[in-house]
Amino acid sequence: MQEKQKSTGLVWFRNDLRVEDNYILNKASKNHKYIIAVYCFNPTQFTVGDFGFKKTDKFRAKFLIETIENLKINLAALNIELFVFKAAPESCIQELVTKHKVTHIYSQKEWTYEEEQVFYNVVKSLPSNVVLNSDYDQFLFPPDAINMPINSIPKVFTNFRKHVEKQSSVKNLVTTQPLCPLENLKNETTIPRLKDLGFENFDVHPNSAFPFNGGEDAAINRLNNYFFETKKLGFYKKTRNGLIGTDFSSKFSPWLANGSISARTIYWKVKQFEKEHYKNQSTYWLIFELIWRDYFKYVALKHENNIFKIGGILNKNYDWSKNETEIQRWINGKTKSDFVNANMIELKKTGWMSNRGRQNVASFFAKDLKLDWRIGAAYFESLLVDYDVHSNYGNWMYVAGVGNDPRDRTFNVALQAERYDSNGKFQAIWLQERLF
């Protein structure tokens, strides 16, 4: 066993906001006797973006605050102090490095444009002798496990899925043991409140399909309830296109998006369920969805900034509109489709929308209204509590006909409403909200 360095290691948390099965944290704990941690509420993430929406609106901001509060508690149990700043990472990390004589920094690797810029800004701010380690830790099947070069990622998901199911394996979970506490360590930083980020306090909507708190503990509680207490996992494939309530789908995506839970944890818990109870199409289908999540991450790795361009990864030209009146009607649930309207009002009131709803409102935006799909993607980025850059832009490209769907389909929202909300109950719940 290697001897731990006596210098202090710093774990820079980004979208890996958990203690359990955190390979970055675990690696740091093996290399250092002492560790401190940092999370930065970067002010740029709460500014208005190019299409007129706040990059992070109140729903995800609240969920993030709850997540950091929980992370701080769970790190404290490992004798690791979490410093929290409302500042650009390059300024606060440099301050910690100098003050605590940090020699090594550990972080999760990110690869989309804004996240990379933040990383490079931090690198430029550091003394040359500081070692910065970054590793991929948000995949089910990370790049070193797929036996395929990134530039060979298939154009079609099915080919990717079949390859990784045959060629790859999922790593075991890791647990980090408590470390030596740093003596006389002062931490005067505080976790910002909603008003510190520019928002008013608000209550969760009584009809929200996602009434859960942020944080690792809430994620694990949800997993145990959905899998083992209610065994809803066993019906997932049949219910996943539902629209009302908490249990038609797993609801893991918000915690996955900011790394409160790892895809590996969910995978191995599915395997535990299959061993203790039964294996069926539903247990497989949850893993299937995790592979979809991986796929969009690989699409972003392969195609880089093209996922944000109007022609997408196919570089296809359509005559996109930016009609502000149509955009506002879509946002406010005032289109010709009540099914679209109900879903959009749900999003505006709760920060959540079902997968079925997302496909329909995005298709309506891009294919029926022929509006610039990037505007819809930016609105989702702002409002969705489970916003994930790769899945969001990957799905929007897919639906808009500039991504990974060779069929370039258009959803018939009237038929979809008839199929998935035949009694109109979902529409009734949310359409009345237009009055308030």
Q: Both 299 and 317 in a single domain?
A: no
Instruction: Report d(CA 214, CA 162) in Å as an integer.
Output: 33
Q: Where is the domain boundary, 305, 335, 353?
A: 305
Q: Where is the domain boundary, 305, 327, 350?
A: 305
Instruction: Answer whether 40's CB lies under 8 Å from 187's CB.
Output: no
Question: Which token pair is 168?
Answer: 């790859």
State the pLDDT at residue 3.
56
State the pLDDT at residue 74.
98
**Cβ neighbours of residue 353 under 8 Å, at least 6 residues apart?**
343, 346, 347, 361, 384
What mean pLDDT is predicted for residues 233-249? 95
Q: Is the pLDDT of residue 209 over 70?
A: yes
Number of domains in the chain: 3
Q: Is the pLDDT of residue 373 over 60?
A: yes
Summarize pLDDT for 23-33 with one digit per residue, the tens.
999 999 999 99
Q: Both 313 and 416 in a single domain?
A: yes
Question: Which token pair is 142?
Answer: 């990370």
Which of 287, 304, 298, 182 has its CA nearest to residue 236? 287
Q: Is the pLDDT of residue 2 over 60?
A: no
Q: Is the pLDDT of residue 168 over 60?
A: yes
Q: Is the pLDDT of residue 4 over 80?
A: no
Q: How far is CA 266 from the centre of its chain?
A: 15
What average pLDDT is seen over the chain? 95
Q: Is the pLDDT of residue 409 over 90?
A: no
**Cβ neighbours of residue 1 under 8 Å, at least 6 residues apart?**
none
State the pLDDT at residue 405.
77
Summarize pLDDT for 63-118 with one digit per residue, the tens.
999 999 999 999 999 999 999 999 999 999 999 999 999 999 999 999 999 999 99
Helix axes 389-400, 355-363, angle to 10 degrees: 50
* Dihedral class, residue 61 (left if φ above 0, else alpha if ψ from -120 to 50, else beta): alpha
The answer to whether residue 19 is domain-embedded is: yes
Confidence band for 406, pLDDT divided at 50, 70 and 90: low
Range of the domain at 35: 1-136
Q: Both 396 and 325 in a single domain?
A: yes
Q: Where is the domain boundary, 255, 289, 305?
A: 305
Task: Assign 3-state DSSP to the chain and report helix, strand, coil percentages, each to 5.
Answer: 50, 10, 40
Summarize pLDDT for 329-369 with one digit per residue, the tens.
999 999 999 999 999 999 999 999 999 999 999 999 999 99
State the pLDDT at residue 368.
96
What mean pLDDT is predicted for residues 373-387? 98
Question: Which token pair is 52?
Answer: 């007129």
Percent of the chain topping pLDDT 70? 98
Which of 39, 72, 211 has its CA nearest to residue 202? 211
Q: Both 398 and 269 in a single domain?
A: no
Instruction: Report d(CA 434, CA 340) in Å as an integer.
Output: 13
Instruction: Answer whether 282's CB lies under 8 Å from 275's CB.
Output: no
What CATH number is associated with residue 232? 1.25.40.80
Instruction: Report d(CA 424, CA 258) in Å as an integer.
Output: 34
Polymer length in residues for the chain: 436
* Dihedral class, residue 11 (left if φ above 0, else alpha if ψ from -120 to 50, else beta): beta
How far the first Cα of the chain sits from its last, in Å, is 63
Q: What is the pairing mode between strands 5-12 and 102-108?
A: parallel
Q: Both 260 and 388 in a single domain?
A: no
Whole-structure pTM value: 0.96
Instruction: Answer whether 312's CB lies under 8 Å from 402's CB.
Output: yes
The answer to whether residue 189 is domain-embedded is: no
Instruction: Name the residue with tokens 């702002």.
Output: 382
Q: Is the pLDDT of residue 1 over 50?
A: no
Q: Is the pLDDT of residue 264 over 50?
A: yes
